[in-house]
Amino acid sequence: MLTTVLKDPTCFKFPTEFNPQNFLNEKGKFMKNDAFMPLAAGKRICLGESLVKMELFLFLVAILQNFDLKSPVPREELDLNPNVSGVANFPKPYTLAFIPR
Protein backbone atom coordinates (compact mmCIF):
# COMPACT_ATOMS: atom_id res chain seq x y z
CA MET A 1 0.00 0.00 0.00
CA LEU A 2 1.40 3.40 -1.01
CA THR A 3 0.63 5.10 2.30
CA THR A 4 2.73 2.49 4.09
CA VAL A 5 5.80 3.43 2.03
CA LEU A 6 5.20 7.16 2.57
CA LYS A 7 5.12 6.68 6.36
CA ASP A 8 8.15 4.41 6.71
CA PRO A 9 10.32 5.63 9.63
CA THR A 10 13.43 4.14 8.00
CA CYS A 11 12.94 6.45 4.98
CA PHE A 12 11.65 9.66 6.60
CA LYS A 13 12.83 11.56 9.69
CA PHE A 14 9.25 12.58 10.52
CA PRO A 15 7.05 9.91 8.89
CA THR A 16 3.70 10.85 10.45
CA GLU A 17 3.74 14.59 9.78
CA PHE A 18 4.27 17.01 6.94
CA ASN A 19 7.78 18.29 7.52
CA PRO A 20 10.07 19.67 4.78
CA GLN A 21 13.08 18.32 6.72
CA ASN A 22 12.13 14.90 5.34
CA PHE A 23 13.64 16.13 2.06
CA LEU A 24 16.70 18.03 3.36
CA ASN A 25 20.17 16.73 4.17
CA GLU A 26 22.30 17.79 7.16
CA LYS A 27 23.37 20.99 5.34
CA GLY A 28 19.77 22.02 4.60
CA LYS A 29 20.03 21.20 0.89
CA PHE A 30 17.33 19.34 -1.06
CA MET A 31 17.83 15.57 -1.08
CA LYS A 32 15.91 13.27 -3.43
CA ASN A 33 14.17 10.55 -1.47
CA ASP A 34 13.37 7.45 -3.56
CA ALA A 35 10.75 6.39 -1.00
CA PHE A 36 8.62 9.43 -1.92
CA MET A 37 6.28 8.13 -4.64
CA PRO A 38 3.16 10.34 -4.74
CA LEU A 39 2.24 9.12 -8.25
CA ALA A 40 2.75 5.39 -7.55
CA ALA A 41 5.32 3.04 -9.06
CA GLY A 42 5.67 0.02 -11.30
CA LYS A 43 2.94 -0.87 -13.79
CA ARG A 44 0.43 1.37 -11.97
CA ILE A 45 2.54 4.53 -12.30
CA CYS A 46 0.76 7.66 -13.52
CA LEU A 47 1.33 8.04 -17.27
CA GLY A 48 1.26 11.82 -17.01
CA GLU A 49 3.81 12.08 -14.19
CA SER A 50 6.34 14.13 -16.18
CA LEU A 51 3.61 16.45 -17.47
CA VAL A 52 2.25 16.91 -13.94
CA LYS A 53 5.70 17.80 -12.60
CA MET A 54 6.33 20.36 -15.37
CA GLU A 55 2.88 21.96 -14.95
CA LEU A 56 3.25 22.18 -11.17
CA PHE A 57 6.66 23.80 -11.57
CA LEU A 58 5.34 26.40 -14.03
CA PHE A 59 2.28 27.10 -11.88
CA LEU A 60 4.31 27.62 -8.69
CA VAL A 61 6.97 29.73 -10.42
CA ALA A 62 4.27 31.99 -11.91
CA ILE A 63 2.72 32.48 -8.46
CA LEU A 64 6.07 33.19 -6.79
CA GLN A 65 7.08 35.65 -9.54
CA ASN A 66 3.88 37.67 -9.31
CA PHE A 67 2.84 37.50 -5.67
CA ASP A 68 4.18 37.76 -2.14
CA LEU A 69 2.55 35.07 0.00
CA LYS A 70 1.61 35.85 3.59
CA SER A 71 -0.30 33.95 6.23
CA PRO A 72 -2.65 35.95 8.47
CA VAL A 73 -1.95 33.39 11.21
CA PRO A 74 1.40 33.54 13.08
CA ARG A 75 3.77 30.70 12.19
CA GLU A 76 3.75 29.35 15.75
CA GLU A 77 -0.03 28.81 15.61
CA LEU A 78 -0.08 26.86 12.33
CA ASP A 79 -0.99 23.18 12.58
CA LEU A 80 0.37 21.38 9.50
CA ASN A 81 -0.79 17.90 10.51
CA PRO A 82 -3.43 16.56 8.11
CA ASN A 83 -6.87 15.28 9.04
CA VAL A 84 -6.42 11.50 9.08
CA SER A 85 -9.19 9.12 8.04
CA GLY A 86 -9.20 5.39 7.37
CA VAL A 87 -8.82 5.96 3.62
CA ALA A 88 -6.58 8.99 3.13
CA ASN A 89 -5.06 12.08 4.71
CA PHE A 90 -6.84 15.33 3.97
CA PRO A 91 -5.17 18.73 4.34
CA LYS A 92 -6.83 21.21 6.68
CA PRO A 93 -8.14 24.46 5.19
CA TYR A 94 -5.70 27.37 5.46
CA THR A 95 -5.97 31.07 4.68
CA LEU A 96 -3.21 32.57 2.56
CA ALA A 97 -2.94 36.13 1.25
CA PHE A 98 -1.61 36.63 -2.29
CA ILE A 99 -0.23 40.17 -2.39
CA PRO A 100 0.51 41.42 -5.95
CA ARG A 101 4.11 42.54 -6.44
For the stretch 78-89, pLDDT in tens is 887 777 777 777
CB 66 within 8 A of CB 58: no
Average pLDDT, the chain: 80
In this prediction, residues 69-92 reach a mean pLDDT of 81
pTM greater than the 0.75 cutoff: no
CA-to-CA dists, residue 31 to 14, 59, 86, 89, angstroms: 15, 22, 30, 24
Which of these, 43, 95, 88, 46, lies nearest to 69 by C-alpha position?
95
Question: What is the distance between the alpha carbons of residues 82 and 89, in angstroms, rounded to a whole number?
Answer: 6
Confidence bin at 40 (pLDDT 50/70/90): low
Q: How many CA atoms lie within 13 A of 75 on its CB side?
A: 1
94 within 8 A of 72, measured Cβ to Cβ: no
46 is in an annotated binding site: yes
For the segment 53-65, what is each residue's pLDDT rounded down to a tens digit? 899 999 999 999 9
